[in-house]
Structure 1
């Protein structure tokens, strides 16, 4: 993004927030509170605690930490399984012919429709939420890993054979690095899906977490608290995406350098 475009975005955001504030105050719609009320409720609920706890309130400890723990655990399990299965399918024609139709069937089923199935299987609690997150997150990682491993340049494989690399060395030194741009594309998609599935699972089967707190606010007609949860989820999404992009740039710096050099 050029400096001029950054300047436009820096000005556009405060102008949009100011417009939102003025429009909601003039409309006085009960379901659309002004941003100032939403931010005040957000601060009151989650970030008005003591400095010794990084300003986190008791509600934040009870809601944010369990939600983030489930999000990262489910995302990590799904990513590990997706990369492992995807690379295996991408490098084996036999496995791909047997399993790939099931993969496309599974990823065509909306993850939210299976939340109630997981609720029956695991009851209310962390196992049900983790199962929902893993099922929702695994597909883009698996498909991108499969595609990346399948289309590794044949010259790379032949070079590994010439240098007498064993199967494990070919996997770690040739196949995974060559497939890593595709794999990271799937991992980036999975971050936002993990956040979505975390909220959906907490709306249905949880007694804690951000989604449960939003559902509780809805039942109490606490509209600013509902919007505070939505804003918090948006901020979490921005932070997670920025953190992932930083890791991606670090890990794939060699790829961008090679592409620019070419």
Structure 2
């Protein structure tokens, strides 16, 4: 009886060891490992730079270049709080960053609407594109920051000045990429759509917009980074609030630790915006990647 019981237990133990893991557990572990690997691959350079910052500032001990730990401490002190009623952010965070992001958002949205409309119109009409192309290239060759004094003359030190500078700098990447995306649609697809007698709305939604969407998304992503840069630059020279104004004010008052805390805040905001946009891009263009994989495998 004892031998039979031991044999049964041994058989159950062997069966449990040979049994496959719970359904989906292996896939989840693989996905988690892949995500962790990607995070390490993308963040190792940032960690290395922060270590170099800490070591270099401790070696040279310059008042203009505080250590990373000091800047990080000021970062959390100046911008975040333990008060849950304020959403764990300070009044400085709400005032300065809120103003900056409002300007950047307004300018970028105006550029998105104008760039998409003009880019689609020029992409559809080859004659209009040929006429406007020299003007577009000329506008792209002028740095938006060079127009800052002119914008101050026209608008004064107002939000309109900051927004207009952001629009000038971000509209051209969206316009150019949209126009190139529309012009790059396969002619076979266009002729097939015409032979099916598609209406304009259906053609726009099922052929033109999906075909040009990879280029459009690329232009939007580039313009987002440019808009963030122009937001800070315009506030450095002509603003009464905002994160750029906070940085230049702290510099003039010799509060260099606070200045670097503002720089860290800009870096974090830029990183978060890029991550959010990458997630949206992965969702919107999932069909594009899958079609390319099928084409490569074929």
Q: Which residue of 1 aligns with 2:288?
A: 255
Aligned counterparts, 1:21-32, within 5 A:
21-32=54-65
Q: Distance in 2 between matches of 1:104 and 1:129?
A: 23
Aligned counterpart in structure 2 of residue 60 of structure 1, from 69, 83, 93: 93
After superposition, what is the alpha-carbon deviation per residue over 1:137-183, rounded to whole angstroms, capped at 9, x for unaligned? 11111111110111111111112112211223222221111010011
Aligned counterparts, 1:5-84, within 5 A:
6-7=39-40, 13-48=46-81, 50-84=83-117
- Identify if the C-alpha distance between structure 1 residues 153 and 66 changes in structure 2 by more than 3 Å, giving closer, same or farther: same
What secondary structure is seen at the aligned counterpart in 2 of 1:259? helix
Mean alpha-carbon deviation: is it higher for 71-80 or for 191-200? 71-80
Q: Which residue of 2 aligns with 1:124?
A: 157
- Identify if the C-alpha distance between structure 1 residues 61 and 219 changes in structure 2 by more than 3 Å, giving closer, same or farther: same
Q: Distance in 2 between matches of 1:62 and 1:194?
A: 19
Give the superposition deviation at 1:18. 3.4
Q: Which residue of 1 aligns with 2:139?
A: 106
Aligned alpha-carbon RMSD (Å) = 1.8
Q: Distance in 2 between matches of 1:3 and 1:43?
A: 26
Q: Which residue of 1 aligns with 2:230?
A: 197
Q: Which residue of 1 aligns with 2:21?
A: none
Normalising to structure 2: TM-score of the pair? 0.83
2:221 corresponds to 1:221: no
Give the superposition deviation at 1:34. 0.3
Give the superposition deviation at 1:8. 5.6
Structure 2: 5+ residue stretches without partners? 1-33
Structure 1: 5+ residue stretches without partners? none
- Identify if the C-alpha distance between structure 1 residues 189 and 11 changes in structure 2 by more than 3 Å, giving closer, same or farther: closer
Normalising to structure 1: TM-score of the pair? 0.94
Q: Distance in 2 between matches of 1:34 and 1:140?
A: 37
Aligned counterpart in structure 2 of residue 238 of structure 1, from 244, 262, 271: 271
- Identify if the C-alpha distance between structure 1 residues 9 and 80 changes in structure 2 by more than 3 Å, giving closer, same or farther: closer
Q: Distance in 1 between matches of 2:41 and 2:230?
A: 33
Alignment: residue pair count:
262
After superposition, what is the alpha-carbon deviation per residue over 1:117-148, rounded to whole angstroms, capped at 9, x for unaligned? 11111111111111011111111111111101
What secondary structure is seen at the aligned counterpart in 1 of 2:120? helix
- Identify if the C-alpha distance between structure 1 residues 186 and 45 changes in structure 2 by more than 3 Å, giving closer, same or farther: same
Contact 1:67 1:198 in 2 (8 A): yes
Which of the pair has more CA radius of gyration?
2
Q: Distance in 2 between matches of 1:3 and 1:51?
A: 31
Give the superposition deviation at 1:14. 4.0
- Identify if the C-alpha distance between structure 1 residues 122 and 16 changes in structure 2 by more than 3 Å, giving closer, same or farther: closer
- Identify if the C-alpha distance between structure 1 residues 10 and 155 changes in structure 2 by more than 3 Å, giving closer, same or farther: closer
- Identify if the C-alpha distance between structure 1 residues 161 and 130 changes in structure 2 by more than 3 Å, giving closer, same or farther: same
Mean alpha-carbon deviation: is it higher for 31-40 or for 153-162? 153-162
